[in-house]
Amino acid sequence: MVRFKNRYIAFEITFGDKSKKPVQLKVTTLHNAIQQKVQRLYGDFGVAAIKAGFTAKYCNIHTKIAIVKCRHGPHKFLINAIPIINDIAGRLVSVKILYVGATMKHCFLFIKKFQQQKLEQVWNTLKTETERENMKDALMTLTPAMKDCT
Amino acid sequence: MDIRESTGFYDLCVNVPENKIQNLYPVLSKLCEYGFKTIAINTDIDESVLGTNKKKKKKSGDSEISQGIVFETIDIENIRKEFDGRLKIFNRITFFCSDFAKTHILNHCSSLKKYDLYAFAPKTQNALQCACTHLNADIITLRPNLVSFKLNKKLYDQAIERGIHFEIQYVDLLNVEFRKTTIHYSHLFHTYGKSKNVILSSGSDDIKTIRNPYDLINLACLLGLNEVQAKASILYQCKRLLLRAERRHRGKAAFIIKDCTKNRSVIEEDSQCVKRLKA
């Protein structure tokens, strides 16, 4: 039995510009941004190669972490293209790949760990108990899709 | 009709430019110059040709009417004479269809028997599914200008098991609009079935869009074929396809027996020499 190998790429987006516009991060805009970058780097062939099974799976606005799925093989194009994305829907961004996994579950497990670490870093700087609770809520809340997998 | 032997590089889809046979000659001589040995001249048939007949069919006996449908066929006998010894020429029909029921009407057509190759171009996902599972065609060709298709492994395997070949036309790769979809489809063949039974043909009607067979082999690595498959896609795979088409025609498996008497006489001479030496 031959199965299709997939790769899930988890990455973090940091917004570069200082403007305090509310951050709009949608699955479709992310999808388009990546596709444009691959088009610039690899041309028509690259876009055609990643087309099969390429979807932006998950997008968290609070933590600014997103996951995209693609087939094993063309995922190499994505790994090269994602770090040099500097523009998502007109906003200046810098993107850092956190993890490349073979299942959604492992990606989410990694993200959980990653968020835990982040929380520990800021824990001491916060004074009151309510501030700490708020921070914990902001960082550790998972979308329903994520909860199913973990 | 005899089974005609075929050799060399194959280009199993050449369209007639503007439906004028005169324009076909330069294209064919160019193909010949590039080293193609066997080509197939294509005729496109849309389902609308049969659609008008469907109403009549209800009124009178079905098989008689459907047998009477005659669509424009190109007289290839003259072309065959012209290129005798240089090119082996077959004729092929491509049937564009969205409704699978129409294929039954076509199957009853007497003029279908005139064609050596029968290609099916589905217009809907449903037609593609039916074609993969039970249509008695030789080639399934996915045209990128129609709706986007979804393949899956099961469908692809079923088609392969029944000996249907999938076609990639490289004229689509030269077109900016369709390039992405064509590469996408050919990658689907690669992911679902390791590009079994894939053939590469030109599908061109213009002298400018014809390419050298060795360039095509190199081009094929873009389409997810490896080196062996790339060569096979314009050589052995096409040969197998033609034999299969012959089988569809006659309902029997076809193979070619070559006359080897020349070889035997050499051996006999040899043995006679040995006898003489012994004496």
Instruction: Enumerate the residues of chain B whose CB falls inside 8 A of the CB of residue A47.
Output: 180
Tens of pLDDT, residue by residue over B18-65, are 767 777 788 888 888 888 888 888 887 777 766 554 444 443 344 444
Structural domain contains residue B117: yes
Phi and psi based region of residue A15 (left: phi greater than 0; alpha: psi -120 to 50; beta: remaining): beta
Report the chain B residue with the minimal C-alpha distance to residue A72: B191
- Give me chain B's average pLDDT, please: 76
Whether B191 sits inside 8 A of A52 (CB atoms) is yes
Tens of pLDDT, residue by residue over B210-226, are 888 888 888 888 888 88
Report the chain A residue with the minimal C-alpha distance to residue B150: A52
Contact (CB, 8 A) for A59 and A88: no
Average pLDDT of span B137-151: 78
Considering all CA atoms of chain A, what is the largest pairwise distance in Å, rounded to the nearest integer?
Answer: 57
Those residues with Cβ within 8 angstroms of residue B235's Cβ, 6 or more apart along the chain or in another chain: B9, B10
Structural domain contains residue B2: no
Domains: count for chain B: 1
Q: How confident is the model at residue B192 (pLDDT cuts 50, 70, 90)?
A: confident
B268 or B162, greater pLDDT: B162
Q: What is the predicted pLDDT for the residue at B208?
A: 82
Q: Determine the residue among A1, A5, A51, A54 to mutate to test chain B binding: the one whose Cβ has the most chain B Cβ atoms within 10 Å.
A: A51
Show the low-confidence residues of chain A (pLDDT under 50).
Answer: none
> CB contact, 8 Å: B154 with chain A?
no
Contact (CB, 8 A) for B95 and B103: yes
3-class DSSP string for chain A:
CCCCCEEEEEEEEEECCCCCCCCCCCHHHHHHHHHHHHHHHHHHHHHHHHHCCCEEEEEECCCCEEEEEEECCCHHHHHHHHHHCCEECCEEEEEEEEEEECCHHHHHHHHHHHHHHHHHHHHCCCCCHHHHHHHHHHHHCCCHHHHHHC
Q: What is the predicted pLDDT for the residue at B74?
A: 65
Q: What is the predicted pLDDT for the residue at B218?
A: 86
Structural domain contains residue B4: no
> CB contact, 8 Å: B221 with chain A?
no
Domain interval for residue B62: 9-278
Of A2, A4, A49, the CB nearest to B183: A49
Q: What is the predicted pLDDT for the residue at B62?
A: 45
Whether A45 sits inside 8 A of B188 (CB atoms) is no
What distance in Å separates residue A45's CA from the closest CA in chain B?
7
Q: Which of B165-169, B192-196, B256-260 has the lowest mean pLDDT?
A: B256-260
For residues B163 and B253, what is the distance between their CA atoms, to the nearest angstrom? 12
> CB contact, 8 Å: B182 with chain A?
yes
Over 70: is that where the pLDDT of B276 sits?
Answer: yes
Q: Which ipTM was obtained for this model?
A: 0.72
Q: What is the predicted pLDDT for the residue at B183?
A: 85
Of A2, A45, A52, the CB nearest to B188: A52
- Domain holding B90: CATH number? 3.20.20.140
Over 70: is that where the pLDDT of B69 sits?
Answer: no
Q: What is the predicted pLDDT for the residue at B60?
A: 38
Query: What phi and psi, each to the nearest 5 degrees, are found at residue B238?
Result: -70, -35
Of A2, A44, A49, the CB nearest to B187: A49
Q: What is the predicted pLDDT for the residue at B4?
A: 63
- Per cent of chain B over pLDDT 70 is 80
Tens of pLDDT, residue by residue over B81-132, are 777 777 788 888 888 877 777 777 777 777 777 777 888 888 888 788 887 8
CATH of domain A6-149: 3.30.70.3250
End-to-end CA distance of chain A: 27
